[in-house]
Structure 1
Amino acid sequence: MHLAYPAVLSVLLFCTGLYGVLARRNAILVLMSVELMLNAVNLNLVAFDVWLSEAARDTLHSGQALTLFTIAIAAAEIGIGLAIVLAVYRARGTSAVDGLRDTAETGPGPLDGPDGSGTPAPTPKAAA
């Protein structure tokens, strides 16, 4: 088997996923692009495993074992990633990645007291 065919396909998949991560604004599409990049890595691992097993008569198939670990990690990553996206969507009403830059809480609001509590500051009494 020629190693060039799966390697070129893997590079194309990885570049497509990289473009999706850098250009997309929707968090779900970014997660899909990361999955595409992981699938490109899996394709490379299996292709090199087949190539090494033909050349050196390797019977361990370590590339296929690493691919199984990568699939398990990708499944956990997509589960946690979707949970985070759903939590952000419920809190902010959007899943745009650009809106997540200001996730830090700012100082006290206009109705908060000087100590940052939820009670407003006392108003001074007018002089009579």
Structure 2
Amino acid sequence: MDQTVCQTIPEVIRTVPLQYYVFFASALFAIGVTGVLVRRNAIIIFMCVELMLNAVNILLTAFSAYRADPNGQIFVFFIMAVAAAEVSVGLGIIVMIYRNFQTTDVNLLSRLKW
């Protein structure tokens, strides 16, 4: 990659104050937590968990760019890989539950006990 491009990336990120990234990520995380606690549809719950993971990714990227350290962006890559695996396994489980019970409501999943 061109050396001038690598040097200007942190400068562009630093033009936006770090607090804005923290507030935005906090709002995304709060929306995700609220969705997990309030909603009963399993697919919506998975989407809210993804919102929370994306909030963490935004913070890691902002802090790593602010400090000009690529370690945070490497962590983001691994978090995205784990999130993709979680979504594929989770959606497979949800599809099997829907085939058996004809619903994705998590309150009705107590039938899985017997």
Q: Same fold (TM over 0.5)?
A: yes
Residue by residue, what CA displacement relative to the aligned partner does 1:6-56 show, whole Å, maximum 9, x if unpaired?
A: 110000000000001000010000000000000000000001101112xxx
Aligned residue pairs, count: 99
Question: For residues 91 and 34 of structure 1, what CA distance do their matches in structure 2 show?
Answer: 24
Q: What residue is the counterpart of 1:82 in the other structure?
A: 91
Equivalence for 1:91: 100
Task: Provide TM-score, normalisation by structure 2.
Answer: 0.84
Shift of 1:103: 1.3
5+ residue gaps in structure 1? 106-128
For residues 41 and 59 of structure 2, the distance between their equivalents in structure 1, rounded to whole angstroms, comes to 28
Letter in 2 for 1:6: Y
Tell me how large the CA RMSD over aligned residues is. 0.8
Aligned pair partner of 2:113 in 95, 104, 118: 104
Q: Give the superposition deviation at 1:102.
A: 3.3
SS in 2 for 1:94: coil
> Which is greater in Rg?
1
Ranked by relative contact order (alpha carbons within 8 Å, sequence separation 6 or more), the top structure is 2
Using structure 1 for the length normalisation, give the TM-score.
0.75
Runs of 4+ in 1 over 4 A off after TM superposition: none
Mapped partners of 2:105, 2:96: distance in 1: 13
| Residue aligned with 2:67, SS | helix
